[in-house]
Structure 1
């Protein structure tokens, strides 16, 4: 299954280089009651990322965030604290804007994150900020550092 996601992703990136679409994405620095951060590793990419994804046409940004958290890690009772920052990326050939939120999982959040989309999510877990996986994506590492420093981020992804 992972190889089909990788092929589809490669084809999409080729189309994006030609059409250069404008997209909007969301991600969350999602925290549990112990201050651990939720991270996911996709089946079609090699690094760990903050949970999130694209905003669908007609969908609000906050609705997209709640949908993505439910789809990727099974958290359905999160509360948004604030916007961490808004970033711009031209990587992958898209004109992409990414809104990062700081959110808190509800008191009933499981000690173990539940991968609800097994075709997309290879692994999901809670990580203490000082014990992040070595294969964290560089942009994810920057967003977590901004969160820990208490700064509002912006600019390049």
Structure 2
């Protein structure tokens, strides 16, 4: 019996050491973004204070947080958006513009805005836009994701 306890204890330490090693050598970051559509079919975009262009809302996934929980949180924070029904997972992309280890979990969601989003230190502008009238400065990645969602082009693997 003592031998089994020692193996169990040793196994737990070994598993922990291996996990720490992989986190250090193979660690990656992961975030969420969503194409958020209102009942009129307009897409919600944000303009951040710290990066140029108009983007779909989203952000990083924290430790012990699911991608769905991160999505709900980010849409609430960046747009006062509430998801109607279930968001649809569309694709997971490698985002090499951020780093060689960043991934974006991309969803399509129907939403309603619970209150207008007032500008602050992070989000300087936001709003719903018709797909044929996107604001000047909409990023190429945002435009590509919208074309992929509409079926105009196949889904890529890189953001």
**TM-score scaled by length of structure 2:** 0.76
Q: Which residue of 34, 45, 67 maps to 2:40? A: 34
Alignment partner of 1:90: what SS? coil
Gaps of 5+ in 1: 1-18
Report the Cα offset of residue 45 of structure 1.
Answer: 1.2
2:130 maps to which residue?
A: 128
Report the Cα offset of residue 134 of structure 1.
Answer: 2.2
Larger Cα Rg: Structure 1 or Structure 2? 2
Aligned residues: 135
The 5 A counterparts of 1:40-51 are 40-51=46-57
Distance 2:147 2:32 in 1: 18
Alignment partner of 1:153: what SS? coil
Distance 1:103 1:113 in 2: 18
Alignment partner of 2:82: what SS? coil
1:145 maps to which residue?
A: 147
1:105 maps to which residue?
A: 111
* Contact 2:83–2:109 (Cα < 8 Å) also in 1: no
**TM-score scaled by length of structure 1:** 0.77
C-alpha root-mean-square deviation of aligned residues, in Å? 2.3
Distance 1:37 1:137 in 2: 14
Report the Cα offset of residue 32 of structure 1.
Answer: 0.2
2:97 maps to which residue?
A: 91
Distance 2:135 2:67 in 1: 28
1:114 maps to which residue?
A: 117
Gaps of 5+ in 2: 1-24
Distance 2:152 2:50 in 1: 31
